[in-house]
């Protein structure tokens, strides 16, 4: 099924260093291995994520960017863009939307992966407000802003033209309608997550990550999966028929 679709280009837009690794890095690893050109956009520096009284925001921002870049490398992702917003203060502002539109138009992803803007609660837990703000900013940038040429037309002077995204993959483990099989990539997902040493401390995330992967996967008979709600803006025609794609390529 279409869970095997590997986009040519994808952009992952999330609030904090480590959000991608906790949530969707199994998908990123899978796509990177399949040749997808992936951009991570990390909106805040995660610069309040410490209980160490000696730590400053500036020091923490440097540590967290370093950890995030290392995690991306483990996943096979070589482009990490940091927007440098303050952790804990994020709003889905028009200024942020404009920045994201510019990045989408520049890198032209087929798929944007983001969090769930409607998730105030996740099961019995409160979703971080930055996660909601980042997700809202991401989907608002995708549609319709990114594709409207009269909006932010000043980018055209820099050669940055409008772009229509094919799909948005909204990460969720509570109510997915679309699944990516991460059975072959969950170990690398864990290795990437372990790069966030400042956040994990002595805690080993393996059990939680495996449990969640199993919980999502069992809905569709997969050992481990990541779950999404998938929004189609413009379907990629060849995705259901990879064999046909090969036939077409040889006959040309």
Nearer to Zn ion (CB atom), residue 16 or residue 97:
16
Neighbours of 24 (CB within 10 A): 23
Closest approach, Cβ 130 to Zn ion, in A, equals 6
Kindly state the smallest distance separating residue 15's Cβ from Zn ion, in Å. 5
Q: Is the peptide bond before 217 cis (omega within 30 degrees of 0)?
A: no
Between 43 and 182, CB nearer to Zn ion: 43
When CB distances to Zn ion are compared, the closest residue is 16
- Find tokens 């890198």 and name the residue: 107
**Residue 46: CB minimum distance to Zn ion, A:** 7
Of 15 and 100, which CB lies nearer to Zn ion in the complex structure? Answer: 15
Kindly tell me the burial class for residue 135, based on how many C-beta atoms sit within 10 Å of its own C-beta (0-12, 13-18, 19 or more): buried
User: Smallest distance from the beta carbon of 140 to Zn ion, in angstroms?
Assistant: 19
The smaller minimum CB distance to Zn ion, of residues 6 and 71, is found at 71
Q: What is the closest distance, in whole angstroms, from the C-beta atom of residue 235 to Zn ion in the complex?
A: 31
3-class DSSP assignment, residue 159: coil
Where in 1-60 is the site for Zn ion (CB under 5 A)?
16, 19
Taking CB under 5 A as the rule, does residue 132 contact Zn ion? no
Q: Which of residues 94-113 bind Zn ion (CB under 5 A)?
A: none
Closest by CA position to 120, among listed 112, 129, 111: 129
- From residue 8, alpha-carbon distances to 11, 24, 153, 230, 236 in Å are 11, 17, 26, 17, 11
Beta bridge mates, 14: 42
Q: Which is nearer to Zn ion, 110 or 198 (CB)?
A: 198
CB of 169 to Zn ion, least distance (A): 17
Binding-site residue total for Zn ion (CB under 5 A)? 2
Sign of CA dihedral 195, 196, 201, 204: negative
Nearer to Zn ion, 16 or 64 (CB): 16
- Closest by Cα among 83, 92, 109 to 28: 109
Q: Residues interacting with Zn ion, by CB under 5 A?
A: 16, 19
């Amino acid at each position: 099924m279409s869970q095997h679709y590997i986009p040519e280009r994808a952009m992952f837009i999330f609030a904090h260093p480590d959000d991608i690794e906790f949530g969707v890095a199994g998908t990123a690893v899978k796509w990177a291995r399949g040749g997808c050109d992936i951009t991570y956009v990390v909106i805040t520096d995660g610069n309040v994520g410490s209980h160490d009284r000696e730590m400053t925001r500036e020091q923490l921002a440097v540590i967290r960017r370093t950890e995030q870049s290392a995690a991306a490398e483990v996943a096979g992702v070589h482009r990490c863009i940091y927007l440098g917003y303050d952790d804990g203060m994020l709003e889905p502002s028009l200024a942020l939307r404009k920045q994201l539109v510019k990045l989408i138009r520049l890198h032209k992803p087929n798929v944007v992966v983001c969090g769930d803007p409607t998730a105030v609660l996740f099961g019995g837990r409160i979703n971080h407000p930055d996660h909601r703000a980042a997700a809202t900013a991401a989907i608002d940038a995708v549609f319709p802003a990114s594709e409207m040429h009269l909006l932010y037309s000043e980018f055209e002077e820099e050669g940055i033209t409008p772009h229509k995204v094919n799909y948005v993959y909204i990460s969720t483990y509570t109510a997915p309608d679309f699944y990516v099989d991460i059975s072959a990539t969950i170990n690398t997902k864990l290795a990437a997550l372990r790069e966030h040493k400042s956040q994990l401390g002595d805690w080993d995330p393996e059990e939680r990550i495996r449990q969640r992967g199993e919980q999502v996967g069992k809905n569709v008979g997969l050992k481990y999966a990541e779950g999404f709600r998938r929004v189609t803006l413009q379907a990629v025609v060849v995705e259901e028929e990879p064999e046909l794609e090969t036939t077409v390529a040889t006959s040309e």
